[in-house]
Structure 1
């Protein structure tokens, strides 16, 4: 092929006769059996040979080759534009990407799922902290970030930067994965965030290591259902539910719990005994406190979101 521009109309004004066209089409089919699919230029060259020196057929081949080039250029530009509109979203959903896009991705990423308490004020700071190379999208009301990470220490530095943007209000759950396992990492980070919010954890950054027991328990649907059913009757006792919530939020410290509820220690002890009567588990024991906490998380996961936005839920 000598050029990509279309030839003039005069060059193909005289149409070849039917027999010539039929013979040319047969040669084209034969050429198709030989073509290795290397690219448009090679295809046009092969078809030009099939034209066997007929200037009219050669002009048609060259004109068609130019059109083929233009069509494929447009298609590639569209594909690239479609991908670039929300590359982070495509990665989050596991959509297949063109090979050239995949090759341009960083080998490893820090995956951060962020629940902002004040999106209007925190979003700009979060974007700036993530940097220009970070990919950003949204899922289920949360911000999802894919931040290039060269190694563990690099990931730790990014977590520190992103956590500062929370300003003590909101939660950040992270995981690290190679680019081929980003969907898996996102699923882990999303579940960690749900557990953190449901578990009344304070604002900050969390990973799966911070919620290992809750993570293992709540992944089993049958266990999660049983735990939620066990704790649900406590919902009918508003004061007892608020007391258990404050007890968990205070890390099982009776003094902190009593102060946060503005009640006497003896009143708190009475309420904790009532919680045991309703649920069958003693919040004063380590095993009972852990079970009740897991049950509250399971119940929260099975319930509609309550719109929690405070720094200390």
Structure 2
């Protein structure tokens, strides 16, 4: 409940009734505010305004500077919590109208002071939140531009002239949900306003103008410093009209990095040239998955092959990582060859098995993602980047 806690000690009975009625109206209006998380801030704002009116009803001729400061602070809190400035202004208008109608025949002497206070309150609210609203509108527009560009849609009118001719496209995937929320909050903190960002499926995408003043590595380092660690990142480059294909490619690279067990960091197509080319052919992908499918049921052999791949088929390092003797590893590699038909100790066998393990991991990731089945079945499509934009 909005409580008026600074009434003068000896308010008359009529003044008390007026302020109580105003408090009840403020409580009802704040309860209607959406979203629900903004109601507490709305209650605080309406309470400050109600207290200002109550002081005038009690004989204080004007709203004081400290009250105006509190109104501005409450207004900023309302906007920050997602509340609507238009709704707040309408509610404050209802509070003022309620008082004016009630006092028109009962206490006309206080009407000029109340009207003046109402004008000051509304002016302070608009002044305090104007910069925030403008900033939020700019952030929304930038987000909408990015969404349209990566989806291959039409950008809002009048925006094209402000866009760069080409962009480095950076797709990011945090290591956990908490980091994702923090990442989304950082999208509008870059010093360069020409860097555009938007949250996308389980991560974010940044469009960085291709120029000497904008380095992808510097942006990644900036984010890592703010987040406390690096997310998985993939970069591509495209002219403005081809950003959608660049986003898909970067998202596919990111999936390859995560599916192949890489540690978080920055990756590009050169890191996965063979895997990327192979996995864009669905028939080849199916054949590769079939090679290792019988192996995946045996956790011991699966982890052995994964260790060999991680250490570039260096058997001594793989054995140390698995805490087994080298002879035990050699026995397991023979079993892997018997099951798959490919030897991890040969160059070609290692290459095929590595691609097969990546294909299997990517296929599992694709099964869990939101995408159209036709996008995967068509030749030349890998399309993990077709994830749903948020």
TM-score range, shorter chain: 0.5 to 0.7
Task: Pick one of 157, 161, 183 that aligns with 1:103.
Answer: 161
Task: Pick one of 148, 171, 182 that aligns with 1:90.
Answer: 148
Correspondence 1:113 to 2:174: no
Asked if the contact 2:142/2:196 (under 8 Å) is kept, the reply is no
Look up the SS of the partner of 2:364 in the other structure: coil
Correspondence 1:206 to 2:267: yes
Asked if the contact 2:224/2:230 (under 8 Å) is kept, the reply is no
Cα distance in structure 1, aligned partners of 2:343 and 2:176: 37
Deviation at 1:200, TM superposition (A): 1.8
Deviation at 1:137, TM superposition (A): 2.1
Matched with 2:299 is 238
Deviation at 1:226, TM superposition (A): 0.6
Of residues 153-162 and 201-210 in structure 1, the stretch that sits farther from structure 2 once superposed is 153-162
Cα distance in structure 2, aligned partners of 1:248 and 1:93: 35
Asked if the contact 2:253/2:268 (under 8 Å) is kept, the reply is yes
Matched with 1:174 is 235
Cα distance in structure 2, aligned partners of 1:280 and 1:196: 26
Cα distance in structure 2, aligned partners of 1:138 and 1:153: 20
Cα distance in structure 2, aligned partners of 1:156 and 1:222: 36
* Residue 139 to residue 127, structure 1, CA distance change in 2 (3 Å): closer
Correspondence 1:139 to 2:200: yes
Task: Pick one of 140, 149, 171 that aligns with 2:210.
Answer: 149
Correspondence 1:281 to 2:342: yes
Across the two proteins, how many residue pairs are aligned to each other? 229
Deviation digits for residues 98-151 of structure 1 (CA, Å, limit 9, x no counterpart): 441111112222211112114524735964775452222233312211122315
For CA contacts below 8 A with separation 6 or more, give which structure has more relative contact order. 1
Deviation at 1:255, TM superposition (A): 2.0
* Residue 198 to residue 165, structure 1, CA distance change in 2 (3 Å): farther
Deviation digits for residues 49-72 of structure 1 (CA, Å, limit 9, x no counterpart): xxxxxxxxxxxxxxxxxxxxxxxx
Asked if the contact 1:163/1:205 (under 8 Å) is kept, the reply is no
Segments of 5+ residues of structure 1 without an aligned counterpart are: 1-79, 308-313
TM-score for the superposition, normalised by structure 1: 0.65
Deviation at 1:189, TM superposition (A): 0.5
Asked if the contact 1:108/1:176 (under 8 Å) is kept, the reply is yes
Cα distance in structure 1, aligned partners of 2:209 and 2:190: 10
Cα distance in structure 1, aligned partners of 2:227 and 2:349: 33
Cα distance in structure 1, aligned partners of 2:257 and 2:189: 23
Asked if the contact 1:129/1:162 (under 8 Å) is kept, the reply is no
Look up the SS of the partner of 2:207 in the other structure: strand
Matched with 2:244 is 183
Map 1:1-313 to 2 at 5 A.
Answer: 83-84=141-142, 86-121=144-179, 123-124=182-183, 127=187, 130-131=190-191, 133=193, 134-151=195-212, 154-162=215-223, 170-304=231-365
Cα distance in structure 1, aligned partners of 2:269 and 2:143: 31
Segments of 5+ residues of structure 2 without an aligned counterpart are: 1-137, 369-390
Look up the SS of the partner of 2:266 in the other structure: strand
Deviation at 1:164, TM superposition (A): 5.6
TM-score for the superposition, normalised by structure 2: 0.53
* Residue 149 to residue 96, structure 1, CA distance change in 2 (3 Å): same
Cα distance in structure 2, aligned partners of 1:173 and 1:242: 26
Of residues 128-137 and 160-169 in structure 1, the stretch that sits farther from structure 2 once superposed is 160-169
RMSD: 3.0
